[in-house]
Structure 1
């Protein structure tokens, strides 16, 4: 549709892997994010707009619509995505800018179908949300005031046009909520290179927005501009790191200059250049002596070397760029063994068990995600002992700040390309758009130390093999269409993407589809990665997590509701029933609320009210996560990864998240924090033997003491065992095993427990695990009495010291003060003092500020 626009391309530079330059006398960089207005194309009244922003948030800010997340408002807003919108601003170009040889406008993110007008001249059109553009704009600009207009065509209208023009039907994309959007069965999400989750998912609403979702910059420069920098590590030993710095420069004419490379502000290389007008590519070797390695969270430091690249002429800075680089070796090891083929990550020569989750965008409206939000979510990963996060393929390639924070905090990134749960068109225009998208994002992200793996898609292959798509196409459209659809798949995931990764980021592993096996076929437990959804999807028992243990588990999970305070933000009291229309609208899994109730009935007593049901749903989720994670860690090195679905939400909803939309940790995130500890004791019953496994991710052996205590719920010591042990590095092993009947024969299983303590110096307990002999439903709990004190700790935080007179199951501490407790939803042994630290989001002057808090336990839900 942009044939007419393409006549202007001679004046346009499309830059893949754009990086902003430092300010200098030669370079001017300004945001064009102010004075914006917007309106529907057919309207005459302009409204104030925010950039970055979206149509929905601008309509909300102007009072045209109500909060899309509140109650059932989403349903009333489906007209927005069928409307064309335009955004308009004016900006001044002074002599200082206008006299530069080159003036560019950089559009970091336009969503999605945008026509760009400068002073009434149509200069460019976009059709891919995931690509940034840098346009040579000087021919269209004038001294003084200039106009910039961007018209966004309806993604639904254009999607329907592309759907009709394809000539055949693709399989239904299972999460495209076309019915909610008033389209019936006409699904259009796959036809646009736009975030798939905008069209709905089984945890998200259908709010298909448009807009300027990232910054617009004006860049003006003379002589030279750095367009791309790629720092490739070619050798790494204890003595030296050899880097190859590849720089892509644009020059306005022929001239001599110098390329200076500094490492941590110290000049390393000064290279003389003869630049030619146009694009110049220069490669310079750089050496770092006695390199310090980059390690994941929990294994070591995250040293990042600051590499500055400067172009100078006559002592004057013309252009500059900076990258922060960590030095590491990382490989995905797939070696045949007696069972199948391994799948694990080896970092700096050491196999590492990957602990983490899947990540989705933090909001449906991406402009609302702040730097503070990114910092918070990455810290939530660090606190919970993650070392990997999977950026899932139905969202976005995240903003640079996300990867920068992962670099700094030792979180490896499994990076999906943005394809999920569907088959896509295979026409030439679509394939070319995908190619440009891949080039842009691989070049943009490849310098980040955190990038561990490029994955072609999420569940497209398993969908093709197992979700009935093949039979549906063959029976209704024939073999020719079947071959055409499969060719579209192979063109993207077996040709375009792997070829580009090999060309542009050859050090990073490419995996065509998650999940899949080493042969590139459907998932199997004995090779590749695996998504296990019989728990939840088929109501399989939690215990089956122990049976379905793969080489690398990249998806599994269980739902819960958010806490009551979150639910109150999008409901009225009349909605406080899990089967109310509002609560079911904020539950996008069609089996969701019934599933939670089904599993809860088998494990817990019926909660007494709505609020208690929400709380117990979180305990239920945490229980399922515990069984799964323990199975994965217990079976290392056969299994070497556990990435649960999912860490976060994009709106307030019942979902698989361990942290709700407002940043509140659910019970499962506190549980994950404990289960992902570097050294963890794990109880397991096998063949009627109660075993204590201890798993270590550490790179050194550790001497410790294992204490086992059999207690009743009143705190009486019934039996005990002390044992000196040596915990072997990077292993899982059994350190205790005894017949279950012999342990419990004298006692009532419903009111006894075993606690395992690990002590590192015979006094300090660094790990504690508790085993119950019955499900929560059968435990004979009694009302606990809590005694507590609140005081200020030496670190400035406040500490709550709590003691219970009996076993207190699943203790939850809550406060009206915004902040997080260091532990929560935890079991309290009788008469043991627990110290719980409180990290406030606002300044607390004294302990009285924390007095308005509550302590609840499972007993209170009866």
Structure 2
């Protein structure tokens, strides 16, 4: 058994069909193609190789992507040479994990096959008599198919190719071609492992792993129980072998092994426990010779989808029951990491999953307009406790949203779904499947299994992954979009994606009766430092999408200028615009999450649209930008998702001194019971403390609890900003020694102004800060600093920063955007290295308040 990963590739471009002819009919000479052979990266895509070779300019810069659209209309040939020894009784298996999109395969000049479809591996067997000392492998890609972008007709969809590349609200049009995942050569003999199914069960601390493996290869069609084939399985946990098990071939030509384990540890989602993984290795032997080996990891957990409290009888089960306890969904929607998704590396996936984990996320929805992701993503989610809601590759199109019934599409969908189900079902992080994004019938009602397309997928899930739940689509209705006009019909809903204003945003979420909000968001600008990376500096000025073509190209749907002018007054400084826009996005998202969480478990959770973006946008609904720079919203979502969290319910951000103001205090607890001490402080931007209130409450486990209705005397308030900070300490079951730990403070801003509500804060003087380096944490290049507010006024939203030349960048710290009152101090853990950037010198790190941007 030998493997070889193929790295060294070349690439050449042609006009359509030219390679099929080869030589000119008129001159008999070779048709050269439109490029010479260029270096190629695999995995990757043609556009990335052309960019590196200088054929196209940076497609993410300004409007350059418009100049790249010719690439998708050409044919492209990949070629590699490799040596591998093959005995006469052996064959080689070529494994292509990702073909994008329609390709023809040749080996040493022999045509092998044609394949269409992105989401199923291609396996081609080559007999030894075709192998040479030096082998040539050629893959010829046709031009990309014409497909629907975000706007079009879902019923006319005819491919299994990612649709977001054809233009979406968070991306431009950039349609990749090429080998988007790994390519391997594997030497095989009589048989090798094909499909594998791994399931676990447990009773108290005793667990069972059941492994079922099917054979492929010549022997798989002729084996019978007397054949001297055997499977030997081994389970390894924390580097220790827990035992070995042996099985002979079954009458069906497959193997089944039950592995009983004692003293197992349960797997929990992020924030609720650990994620112990058990490695399973299964060797296929013939007369004692190892033919093939399968390796995977699994865990022990019991995940059930159950109905919400007080849910209508016809509602789907939207609540997660994990290991016999309810789990509130703290979710994010994931788009592909990059327009050129083949270029996404393991390190980039690691950065995304770790940022999800640090944001207290426990579930991610892999959206149906994007990808069945690379294996590394599912492996990382297994490791870090991120449950996966996986959609099949279908999405709405606006004009009609009816799932395609075209026979050829259904054939491709069935193949892609079969591949996804059989390859991803072994991941312990996989929580459910969904038919796709925002699919509807002719009447605009979310699709059900009465649709032939959806029925096909439901049947496949039930047959191939019967332990997992299937949702027909997201949102699953009966309302697709959150509507206060039709109460009682907001089961699983989407939207809105805009901040509704300083009054309506709060009325909407306070009145919502959604059972699950699986997609919604608020838009906000990218950081100034990020904008500098993809927009010419001459374009970096305050403007609207309507006024500037480059800005429109990078986020046309998500202009926030009018919103920020209303909230903060006329803004003419771009860095002030960024601060204002990011603050409003953070405030809008934070309140929506807290409002939904106050209805736990009548509401089973929130899944924010969206976590990331595959294209750099001036403005977007993402909470981290293309360069993985978190916006302010990331940190406020992180707090709203914390296991223990104080929140405030209110009707609007604008306080009228002539109208009574009765906000309500809530405590959200995902863990054990205990005693809560809480404090509310109301302070002016000048540091005047004009209200303080304290209390103590007993808290039940896994609840959201209303603590107090607050009666504030607002009649004496003049026109100013009101800063309200919630803080507290908690003594839980695990703290029997009566030691407590402090909760992260949660700070709100209100205004008594009747226009340009927060202009005073945006343009207020900066607080005085001092800081000192405490120590290096010893891992992940994290530096610890103590930051002190040395002045008399509150320090609103402190961030860690450093400069690269003239560019100021905010560094990642979970304490970013904290608030310190006069004389207070806080330790910041600062990551001095982030994905795509060099490590920062600790001596260059400094701290500032957010509203001092540009000063």
TM-score between the two structures when normalised by the length of structure 2:
0.85
Alignment of 1:434-473 (within 5 A): 434-461=413-440, 465=444
Aligned equivalent of 1:10: none
Q: Is the 8 A contact 1:114 1:153 kept in 2?
A: yes
Q: What is the SS of the residue equivalent to 2:157?
A: helix
Quick one: structure 1 residues 573 and 243, their matched pair in 2 at CA, closer, same or farther if it must change by over 3 Å? Answer: closer
Quick one: structure 1 residues 736 and 337, their matched pair in 2 at CA, closer, same or farther if it must change by over 3 Å? Answer: closer
Alignment deviations for residues 674-721 of structure 1 (CA, whole Å, 9 cap, x no partner): 1111011001126942211001111x1021211223333333443433
Q: Is the 8 A contact 1:412 1:452 kept in 2?
A: yes
**2:729 aligned with 1:765, yes or no?**
no
Quick one: structure 1 residues 336 and 840, their matched pair in 2 at CA, closer, same or farther if it must change by over 3 Å? Answer: closer
Alignment of 1:88-167 (within 5 A): 88-94=79-85, 97-138=86-127, 141-156=130-145, 159=146
**2:530 aligned with 1:541, yes or no?**
no
How far residue 128 of structure 1 moved from its aligned partner, in angstroms, is 0.5
Quick one: structure 1 residues 763 and 337, their matched pair in 2 at CA, closer, same or farther if it must change by over 3 Å? Answer: closer
Residues of 2 paired with 1:487 and 1:726: CA distance?
44
Aligned equivalent of 1:490: 451
Alignment deviations for residues 704-741 of structure 1 (CA, whole Å, 9 cap, x no partner): 2112233333334434333222221111111121234x
Alignment deviations for residues 417-462 of structure 1 (CA, whole Å, 9 cap, x no partner): 1111144542322211111111111110001011001000101127
Mean Cα deviation higher: 342-351 or 327-336: 327-336
How far residue 36 of structure 1 moved from its aligned partner, in angstroms, is 2.3
How far residue 805 of structure 1 moved from its aligned partner, in angstroms, is 2.5
Q: What is the SS of the residue equivalent to 1:816?
A: strand
Residues of 1 paired with 2:366 and 2:681: CA distance?
42
Quick one: structure 1 residues 272 and 708, their matched pair in 2 at CA, closer, same or farther if it must change by over 3 Å? Answer: closer
Q: Which one of 175, 191, 204 corresponds to residue 208 of structure 1?
A: 175
Q: Which one of 215, 238, 257 corresponds to residue 249 of structure 1?
A: 215
Q: Is the 8 A contact 2:155 2:404 kept in 1?
A: no
How far residue 318 of structure 1 moved from its aligned partner, in angstroms, is 2.5
Q: Is the 8 A contact 2:497 2:522 kept in 1?
A: no
Aligned equivalent of 2:295: 322
Q: Is the 8 A contact 2:198 2:426 kept in 1?
A: yes
Aligned equivalent of 2:654: none
Q: What is the SS of the residue equivalent to 2:234?
A: strand
**2:614 aligned with 1:650, yes or no?**
yes
Residues of 2 paired with 1:337 and 1:716: CA distance?
45
Quick one: structure 1 residues 835 and 412, their matched pair in 2 at CA, closer, same or farther if it must change by over 3 Å? Answer: same
Quick one: structure 1 residues 116 and 811, their matched pair in 2 at CA, closer, same or farther if it must change by over 3 Å? Answer: same
Aligned equivalent of 1:621: 585
Residues of 2 paired with 1:735 and 1:487: CA distance?
41
Aligned equivalent of 1:230: 197
Mean Cα deviation higher: 498-507 or 308-317: 308-317
TM-score between the two structures when normalised by the length of structure 1:
0.85
Aligned equivalent of 2:642: 677
Mean Cα deviation higher: 784-793 or 354-363: 784-793
Mean Cα deviation higher: 410-419 or 767-776: 767-776
Mean Cα deviation higher: 376-385 or 283-292: 283-292
Quick one: structure 1 residues 521 and 404, their matched pair in 2 at CA, closer, same or farther if it must change by over 3 Å? Answer: same
Q: What is the SS of the residue equivalent to 1:136?
A: strand
Aligned equivalent of 1:508: 468
Residues of 1 paired with 2:229 and 2:412: CA distance?
36
Quick one: structure 1 residues 617 and 466, their matched pair in 2 at CA, closer, same or farther if it must change by over 3 Å? Answer: farther
Residues of 2 paired with 1:65 and 1:354: CA distance?
43
Alignment of 1:840-855 (within 5 A): 840-841=832-833, 847-850=842-845, 853=846, 855=848
Alignment deviations for residues 143-182 of structure 1 (CA, whole Å, 9 cap, x no partner): 22222221111124xx38xxxxxxxxxxx76446xxxxxx
How far residue 759 of structure 1 moved from its aligned partner, in angstroms, is 1.1
Alignment deviations for residues 545-594 of structure 1 (CA, whole Å, 9 cap, x no partner): 3333411111111111211111111222221233453542343444x21x
The runs of 5 or more residues in structure 2 that have no matched partner are: 19-31, 652-659, 732-738
How far residue 382 of structure 1 moved from its aligned partner, in angstroms, is 0.9
Mean Cα deviation higher: 700-709 or 320-329: 700-709
Residues of 2 paired with 1:488 and 1:805: CA distance?
63
Q: Alignment RMSD, CA only? A: 3.0
Q: Is the 8 A contact 1:784 1:807 kept in 2?
A: no
**2:38 aligned with 1:47, yes or no?**
yes
Q: Is the 8 A contact 2:414 2:456 kept in 1?
A: yes
Aligned residues: 782
How far residue 520 of structure 1 moved from its aligned partner, in angstroms, is 11
Residues of 1 paired with 2:691 and 2:361: CA distance?
36
Alignment deviations for residues 792-847 of structure 1 (CA, whole Å, 9 cap, x no partner): 32524131413142123344442126742332234332332233221111897975
Alignment deviations for residues 513-571 of structure 1 (CA, whole Å, 9 cap, x no partner): 10013799999865641102274699993222333341111111111121111111122
Q: Is the 8 A contact 1:214 1:367 kept in 2?
A: yes
Aligned equivalent of 1:17: none
Residues of 2 paired with 1:314 and 1:641: CA distance?
54
Q: Which one of 745, 762, 768 corresponds to residue 786 of structure 1?
A: 768
Quick one: structure 1 residues 860 and 90, their matched pair in 2 at CA, closer, same or farther if it must change by over 3 Å? Answer: closer
Q: Which one of 384, 387, 395 corresponds to residue 370 of structure 2?
A: 395
Residues of 1 paired with 2:194 and 2:242: CA distance?
22
Residues of 1 paired with 2:840 and 2:374: CA distance?
36
Aligned equivalent of 2:281: 308
**2:815 aligned with 1:833, yes or no?**
no
Q: Which one of 801, 807, 811 corresponds to residue 814 of structure 1?
A: 801
Q: Is the 8 A contact 1:426 1:487 kept in 2?
A: no
Mean Cα deviation higher: 323-332 or 600-609: 600-609
How far residue 228 of structure 1 moved from its aligned partner, in angstroms, is 2.3
Q: What is the SS of the residue equivalent to 1:52?
A: coil
Alignment of 1:628-643 (within 5 A): 628-643=592-607
Aligned equivalent of 1:404: 379
Quick one: structure 1 residues 713 and 540, their matched pair in 2 at CA, closer, same or farther if it must change by over 3 Å? Answer: closer
Residues of 1 paired with 2:534 and 2:840: CA distance?
32
Q: Is the 8 A contact 1:424 1:489 kept in 2?
A: no
Mean Cα deviation higher: 675-684 or 121-130: 121-130
Q: Is the 8 A contact 1:465 1:522 kept in 2?
A: no
Alignment deviations for residues 360-388 of structure 1 (CA, whole Å, 9 cap, x no partner): 11111112211110110111011111101
**2:270 aligned with 1:297, yes or no?**
yes
Quick one: structure 1 residues 845 and 391, their matched pair in 2 at CA, closer, same or farther if it must change by over 3 Å? Answer: closer
Residues of 2 paired with 1:841 and 1:387: CA distance?
25
**2:524 aligned with 1:560, yes or no?**
yes
Residues of 2 paired with 1:534 and 1:131: CA distance?
33
Quick one: structure 1 residues 52 and 794, their matched pair in 2 at CA, closer, same or farther if it must change by over 3 Å? Answer: closer
Q: What is the SS of the residue equivalent to 1:292?
A: coil
Q: Is the 8 A contact 1:462 1:515 kept in 2?
A: no
Quick one: structure 1 residues 231 and 536, their matched pair in 2 at CA, closer, same or farther if it must change by over 3 Å? Answer: same
Q: What is the SS of the residue equivalent to 1:196?
A: coil
Quick one: structure 1 residues 775 and 47, their matched pair in 2 at CA, closer, same or farther if it must change by over 3 Å? Answer: farther
Residues of 2 paired with 1:802 and 1:738: CA distance?
31
How far residue 648 of structure 1 moved from its aligned partner, in angstroms, is 0.5
The runs of 5 or more residues in structure 1 that have no matched partner are: 1-26, 161-171, 177-185, 468-485
Task: Say which structure is richer in helix.
Answer: 1
Aligned equivalent of 1:418: 393
Q: Is the 8 A contact 2:478 2:489 kept in 1?
A: no
Residues of 2 paired with 1:755 and 1:768: CA distance?
7
How far residue 504 of structure 1 moved from its aligned partner, in angstroms, is 0.8
Residues of 1 paired with 2:588 and 2:75: CA distance?
46
Mean Cα deviation higher: 195-204 or 135-144: 135-144
Quick one: structure 1 residues 60 and 84, their matched pair in 2 at CA, closer, same or farther if it must change by over 3 Å? Answer: same
Residues of 1 paired with 2:110 and 2:359: CA distance?
52
